[in-house]
Copies of this chain bind each other. A is one copy, B any other.
């Protein structure tokens, strides 16, 4: 079943191809990765971000790409839509009458804005649950004005402001629907986490026993697969009918994609990368960030999935990379990159005197 071979690319400049890799999570980082983005100071390269880009169709065929397709990639938050799908296939979403906005917020890395908090709290309430059950930890809301408003009101950030609050709400609601205890829902051994991991394996079409597992920023299991498997999963979200999966899964993906495409603000928030990309090409893409330089985009009109891993994990390279990749795929125009999205496509860096002294710019084509 694994159509994706796992070549190791080790040992200096020699290639050793192994079509099977039986160790759990045993994919090795490639020895070489091509430059994707440079930081130029005074017009001269100062730093270089390498990585890999993979573009797939729903049958898992790599259509375009750069760098090693098997680049090992912890999906991080780019896995969220895949982690949420069991909520739909189980019938929980329908049983509790969850709205499109509520489903979208579960797939998002949320800025903690008031409407995010309302969507998370509202979804939990439909299942008779409260936000006190969220065990995702606490961080300052990513949305600056919201963080400042909380501070001004003398309030501390709560778990419901965590960027993963929606995903955790989905897991809790799934517990409720299946009659499972919510206690320990975040532990790898909890049945809900097993369902979630099965969903990731199915949509990535990757053997579950070969998925590498770690702990995510929000405490739940996080999954490491070859980059091309993430691109394949997003291609299947974009074009579920060609996913080869059963009708229940196809219907679930269709509903979830429609929910996300209709609610760009629920995928990230005002002014943030994923939301701005979705607003720049309305209805044409679901763009989803992960941490440590992982990123994925589902492109329904093209029937393609795009996945990116910045090898060094630096998020500053993600926006220029995804903008350039979407430009190469014909999704974002040259004008859009030069105009509305210029601060994402080629961010300028200012020094302590406010002078623009450097910029980040893509150095690749697909």
Q: Is the CB of B137 within 8 A of A213?
A: no
**A339 — which chain B residues lie within 8 A by C-beta?**
none
Q: Is the CB of A353 within 8 A of B219?
A: yes
**Number of this chain's copies in the complex:** 2
**A311 — which chain B residues lie within 8 A by C-beta?**
47-48, 50, 312
Q: Is the CB of A224 within 8 A of B314?
A: no
Q: Which of A38-46, A195-203, A270-278 contacts B (4 or more CB under 8 A)?
A: A38-46
What's the least CB distance linking A300 to chain B, in Å? Answer: 30
A353: contacting residue among B218, B312, B352, CB under 8 A: B218
**A222 — which chain B residues lie within 8 A by C-beta?**
41-42
Residue of B nearest to A291 (CB): B46
Residue of B nearest to A214 (CB): B42
Q: Is the CB of B215 within 8 A of A352?
A: no
| A354-B137, A355-B219 known; A42 vs B212 contact (CB < 8 Å) | yes
In the bound assembly, the distance between CA atoms of A351 and B220 in angstroms comes to 10
Q: Is the CB of A41 within 8 A of B74?
A: yes
Q: Is the CB of A292 within 8 A of B39?
A: yes
In the bound assembly, the distance between CA atoms of A41 and B45 in angstroms comes to 30
Residue of B nearest to A215 (CB): B357
Where chain A touches its partner, the secondary structure class is loop
Residue of B nearest to A357 (CB): B215
Q: Assess whether A144 is interfacial by the CB under 8 Å rule.
A: no
Q: Is the CB of B214 within 8 A of A357?
A: yes
Q: Assess whether A59 is interfacial by the CB under 8 Å rule.
A: no
Total count of chain A residues near the partner, CB < 8 A: 51
**A43 — which chain B residues lie within 8 A by C-beta?**
214
Q: Assess whether A67 is interfacial by the CB under 8 Å rule.
A: no
| A41-B214, A137-B351, A312-B312 known; A46 vs B74 contact (CB < 8 Å) | yes
A49-60 interface code vs B (CB 8 A; 1 in, 0 out): 110000000000
Residue of B nearest to A219 (CB): B353
Q: Assess whether A331 is interfacial by the CB under 8 Å rule.
A: no
List residues of A (255-303) whose CB comes within 8 Å of B's CBs. 292-293
List residues of A (1-57) whose CB comes within 8 Å of B's CBs. 13, 25, 28-29, 32, 35, 38-39, 41-50
Q: Is the CB of A352 within 8 A of B214?
A: no
A41: contacting residue among B29, B47, B215, B218, CB under 8 A: B215
In the bound assembly, the distance between CA atoms of A35 and B293 in angstroms comes to 17
Q: Is the CB of B39 within 8 A of A313?
A: yes
**A46 — which chain B residues lie within 8 A by C-beta?**
74, 214, 224, 292, 313
Can you list 15 residue pairs at the A/B interface with Cβ under 8 Å? Answer: A25-B44, A29-B35, A42-B214, A42-B222, A45-B72, A46-B214, A48-B312, A49-B312, A50-B50, A50-B311, A216-B351, A217-B351, A217-B352, A312-B317, A313-B314
A residues in contact (CB < 8 Å) with B:
13, 25, 28-29, 32, 35, 38-39, 41-50, 72, 74, 135-139, 162, 212-219, 222, 224, 292-293, 310-314, 317, 351-355, 357-358
